[in-house]
Structure 1
Amino acid sequence: MDVEDLVVEPTAAARRLLGATLWSGDVAMRIVEVEAYGGDPAGPWPDPAAHSGRGRTARNAVMFGPPGVLYVYLSYGMHTCVNVTSGPDGIASAVLIRAGEIIEGEEEVRVRRPAARTDADLAKGPGNVGSALGITLGDYGIRLFDKESPIRLELGPEIADPSAIAVGPRVGVSLAAERPWRLWLPDSPAVSVYRRSPRAPRLDRPA
């Protein structure tokens, strides 16, 4: 399995990443929750909630390809969020890694995440994923399928049973808030809690 498996529309790429293993040094995490994001109106997957929704900038440039590249940004100025670019070169899309299960290097992760109460809490939520894996803004642009990379992505077998994957709206976005682009493995205790943005349109009003 390689980077070409991700050159698909955003939710298909997100689905493909569930169950994959993300390595950062000696720490390995099984991905159990993701969110798909598209790009600007000129592309095939317009997405006003995406960082690339208004076009290319210095911050979001890697979202425009090639696929399989690490896109890292700070949320609220302190939480490092980890994304995998997807789609063909030149067209913006990426998948946010929202949660995972630590399967190697737990002792190292516990040093980084002393506030985690249980194993399931170590990488629950996108900010905690970045902390658990020790990923920083300096890792922006790393090619995740390069065997020499300090951060590597290994795709496992594709999940064939659609009922094994749960689907729902993305967390915390105020635009395109109803779009069912969050996917997760419902049997994992590491999946984060859904929180709707208070800035999103009310459900009893037209979006």
Structure 2
Amino acid sequence: MTTTDKTAAAPEEAERAERIERADPADPVDTDADTDRSAEPGAGGRGAWAGRVLRRARSYGWQRIAGAAAIAVLLLGSGGLLYAAQDLKDPAATRNHALTDSAATDQVIGDVSSALSQIFAYTPDGTDATEQAARNVLAGSAATQYQALFAQIKQNVATQQLTLTTRVVRAGVVSLTADHARLLVFLDQTAQRAGSTATSAAAQLSVTAEQKNGHWRITALKAR
């Protein structure tokens, strides 16, 4: 290096040394300060600016996602309301008198509850009365199934001195038209053999009934 080059480089070297001496010991400065400091996201300069921009972008992204989710919930909610409103306009729903006719609802519950209490009750000497009650309150497949079942147990009722009583705990009408109804019925049944302790059990039935001559008759029974 020539004397002229050394003289020109001296001020630059002096300035560089002075910058290093003034630097904060807690913030090490490399000789290529601009490049290294900008590469550290936690430091000042372009790196810190880039980190802040990235965090803001992420925050904005989450806000957009949260906003979209809220809109989706609102749309789903409004869709559910529209569906419910449409369901009420459906002809089958408007014909369901269980929603509007309390007198008809009470009648079908009363007739079906009475029928179940009669057909699921017997004593050793009262099987004929039970069969007669079944003929009065059952029809269709319910009558056929019941007759086949009762024929199997009738002899045991007499020989084993069996007694059965049934009480309707609760009954609800699922659907009701002028001559057709579907119900869900909860029963408590108590059975006892002569000389033994009575035992109780709960039962749940799906019941279909049809109205004829002002009275409801059970046409289908299904245990649940």
Q: Point out which structure has higher relative CO (alpha carbons under 8 A, 6+ apart).
A: 1
Normalised by the length of structure 2, the TM-score is: 0.19
